[in-house]
Every structure is written in C-alpha cells, then in structure tokens.
C-alpha cells in the first residue's frame, strides 16, 4: 500500500507543475482510486488482499468522500462560471465587443427580422423622447450609443441610474464597493428590504435590467480611485454620487486626466448642488473650486448630518437630466455653473464658477475641440 501515498504525491506535484484546479486534482485521484479498486478486486485470492493490507470497506468509504468533494467543487465551479458570465470579472468587465465596422463580428449578426423587432420595441419605448424637438430620433441614437459610468449606487447614483436606464443609455457601468443596509432604504428607493446585505452594484444592476432589457448594464464592486483613468476613458460621461471629499477629489483628477466630463452632485440635510466639471472643454474642474478638503466637521457626510429622504431623488434626477442633455446636445449644460437647491424653502439658485489658471489638477492639461 506504500504505492498509494506516492501516487497521490506525484499527482499533487504534477498538478502544481501544470497549474491544475482543485477539481481536476480530485478527478485524477479518483481515477487512481478506481484503478486500485479494479486491481484489488481482480486479485485471485483473499490472502493477497489481506497480505497487501487492503480493506475494501475503508477503500469504498474513501471513494465516497472523494466523490462528495468532486461534486462540491463541480457545483462551486459552475456557480462561479455563471456569475462571471453574467457580471464579468473586475479585470474584464462584461462589455459587448465593439468590432470595427469592416471587421467580421465574433457573434453572428442578428437577423433582419430580429433587428426590426428590436427597433419597433425601441420606437415604442422611447416615443416620448422621439417627439421632443431637442432629442428626436438622432438624440435617441446618441443615447443608445452612449457609455456612462455611475460612481456610487446610493442616494444620488441610484435615481440617476434608473432614469438613464429608462432613457435608453446603451451602456451603464455601476461602481460601488458597499452593500445595501436597512438605513439606506429611507432614501435609496431602488432597493427592496430583501436586498439588505447584497452588493449595491449587483442589486441596482438587476433593477436596471428589469426596467430596460434593451441596454447593457455592468456592475463593479469597487471604489473608483485616481488610478482608474483607463476605466473612466472607456466611458463618454461620468456621474459621481459619492459622498467623501477624498473620493470626489480622486474621481475629479482621474476624469480630468482622461478628458471625460464629470457631472457631480452632492447633498446634505436639506440642500443639494450639482455641476458639470469639464476642464478638457474649458470648464472648471472640482479642484478649481474646492482646492482643499473642508475642515473636519464643516462638511459632515449624510451619516452624521442626516439627509431628508426625497432630496437625493431630486438631485439624482437632475444629474440624469444633465446627462441626457450632455449626451444629446440639448439645451445648455451646467459646465461652469453650479445649481444649488434648498429643499427647506423650495429655492433654486445658480452661481457661475471660474476656472483657476493655477489649478493643481487641470492647469496645463490639453484642451479638446468642442464636438460638432
């Protein structure tokens, strides 16, 4: 029986060398188990089995344990593959591959009939946009082709995400490191009580897909930092609804570097504000206006200061409205303007923001020509 440990050790060594997964190692051990069992049963006399120290009952029990382990790892592997198929991995977000116009597509193109059906559905779904003079068919096509990154699927990000999904923004990425807590539900009405404890991005993505199956939604469970320039550059527009100054400053710096416009909203107690930072097209960035973090205690987050439930809905919906205008070119956006809403007295005012020529973030960055 000394052969058995040697066989198992050599399988483990081989698997380490070949980079096998647990499941494959277990299956290899199982094959050895079957071969040994067959040899022992084929042995002519019981004396030989006894002489070799072979106990059939022990051997069968070991085989059953091995079978259970294989079943367990097979199920785990299948669940993981399914999750990656649906959500993608952090390194490889699940985006549809964008083929060059003349390159052969990896997946077969949908039939003309299926395309016509989708177009009919879209015409029906977006009819109220299409009759708007400022949006119309061309504006709706721009929304369909737009890629928007929403940072934070909380009070501001969630209502903005719902409206952008409803409006037919073709690709939405939701990035949020947190899970849903019961204290979120007072204002983050995208979630249900049963979602408590789930990753916010995943739960919110589910709601968006249920609202509009014609769009592509992807969830990332991560905090976006100043290093995420590549992630931001994969999008046409970023909406920031995070509530910590350090996070907002990092996102501003990454957007400025990537040359992607940033619609930023913030709320506290009864008041909210929003603006569009776009230094690549001449507008100020966040560091032009707020070069330094406020003194501790001066700008407390919602958790300490409190926030009235419908306020994030108001400001989040305004962020989505600015996003629709930014994408379709309708009206005039909030670049260089800050809109301030006082919910306690029902007042709105607008202030003009100036770019700081010595801004530590955006001075010296290349300007982009305004899009025609």
Q: How far is the CB of 261 from Zn ion (least distance, A)?
A: 13
Alpha helices (runs of H) in 244-309, residue ranges in sequence order: 245-258, 286-289, 302-305
Contacting Zn ion within 163-182 (CB under 5 A): none
Residue 250 within binding range of Zn ion, rule CB under 5 A: no
Nearer to Zn ion, 180 or 288 (CB): 288
**Among the listed residues 231, 314, 334, 362, the single contact to Zn ion using CB under 5 A:** 362
Residue 285 within binding range of Zn ion, rule CB under 5 A: yes
Residue 302 within binding range of Zn ion, rule CB under 5 A: no
Nearer to Zn ion, 227 or 358 (CB): 358
Q: Give the containing element (helix H, strand E) for 238.
A: strand 237-240
CB 122 within 8 A of CB 137: no
| Interacting span for Zn ion (CB under 5 A) from 11-19, 211-219, 231-239, 286-294 | 286-294
Nearer to Zn ion, 5 or 357 (CB): 357
Q: In what order do the strands lie in the sheet with 271-277?
A: 216-220, 171-175, 147-151, 237-240, 262-268, 271-277, 337-342, 347-352
Residue 288 within binding range of Zn ion, rule CB under 5 A: yes
| Interacting span for Zn ion (CB under 5 A) from 107-115, 123-131, 242-250, 353-361 | 353-361
**Among the listed residues 25, 287, 318, 319, the single contact to Zn ion using CB under 5 A:** 287
For residue 171, give every residue at least 6 positions away whose Cβ sits within 8 Å of its Cβ, in sequence order, or none. Answer: 95, 96, 146, 147, 148, 215, 216, 217, 218, 235
Q: How far is the CB of 255 from Zn ion (least distance, A)?
A: 11
- Please give the structure tokens belonging to residue 80: 């993981």
- Please list the residues that pair with 263 across neighbouring strands: 239, 276
Q: How far is the CB of 176 from Zn ion (least distance, A)?
A: 26
In this structure, what DSSP letter does residue 141 have? H
Nearer to Zn ion, 29 or 361 (CB): 361
Nearer to Zn ion, 216 or 356 (CB): 356
Q: Are strands 271-277 and 262-268 parallel, antiparallel or unpaired?
A: antiparallel
The SS3 of residue 164 is helix
Total residues in contact with Zn ion, by rule CB under 5 A: 6
* Spatial distance between the Cα atoms of 279 and 283, rounded to a whole number of angstroms: 5
| Interacting span for Zn ion (CB under 5 A) from 166-174, 182-190, 224-232, 280-288 | 280-288
Residue 359 within binding range of Zn ion, rule CB under 5 A: yes
Binding positions for Zn ion, rule: CB under 5 A: 285, 287-288, 359, 361-362
């Amino acid at each position: 029986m000394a052969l058995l440990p040697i066989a198992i050790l050599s399988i483990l060594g081989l698997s380490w060398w070949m980079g096998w997964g647990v499941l494959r190692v277990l299956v290899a051990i199982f094959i050895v188990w079957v071969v040994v069992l067959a040899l022992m049963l084929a042995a002519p006399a019981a004396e030989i089995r006894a002489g070799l120290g072979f106990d059939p009952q022990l051997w069968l029990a070991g085989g059953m344990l091995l079978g259970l382990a294989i079943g367990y790892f097979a199920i785990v592997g299948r669940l993981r593959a399914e999750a990656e198929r649906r959500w993608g991995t952090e390194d490889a977000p699940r985006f549809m591959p964008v083929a060059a116009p003349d390159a052969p597509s990896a997946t077969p193109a949908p039939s003309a009939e299926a395309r016509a059906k989708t177009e009919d559905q879209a015409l029906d779904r977006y009819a109220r946009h299409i009759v708007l003079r400022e949006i119309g068919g061309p504006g709706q096509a721009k929304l369909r082709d737009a890629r928007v990154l929403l940072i934070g699927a909380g009070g501001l990000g969630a209502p903005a995400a719902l409206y952008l999904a409803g409006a037919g923004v073709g690709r939405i990425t939701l990035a949020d490191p947190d899970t849903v807590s019961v204290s979120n539900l007072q204002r983050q009405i995208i979630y249900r009580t049963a979602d408590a404890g789930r990753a916010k991005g995943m739960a919110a993505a589910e709601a968006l897909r249920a609202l509009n199956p014609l769009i592509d939604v992807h969830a990332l469970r991560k905090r976006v930092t100043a290093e995420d320039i590549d992630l931001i550059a994969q999008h046409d527009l970023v909406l920031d609804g995070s509530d910590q100054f350090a996070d907002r400053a990092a996102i501003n710096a990454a957007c400025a570097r990537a040359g992607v416009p940033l619609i930023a909203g913030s709320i506290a107690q009864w008041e909210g504000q929003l603006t569009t930072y776009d230094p690549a097209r001449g507008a100020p960035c966040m560091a032009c206006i707020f070069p330094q973090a406020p003194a501790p205690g001066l700008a407390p987050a919602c958790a300490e200061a409190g926030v009235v439930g419908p306020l994030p809905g108001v400001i989040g919906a305004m962020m989505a409205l600015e996003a629709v205008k930014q994408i379709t070119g309708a009206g005039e956006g909030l670049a260089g303007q800050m809109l301030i809403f006082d919910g306690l007295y029902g007042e709105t005012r607008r202030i003009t923001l100036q770019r700081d020529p010595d801004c530590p973030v955006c001075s010296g960055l290349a300007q982009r020509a305004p899009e025609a």
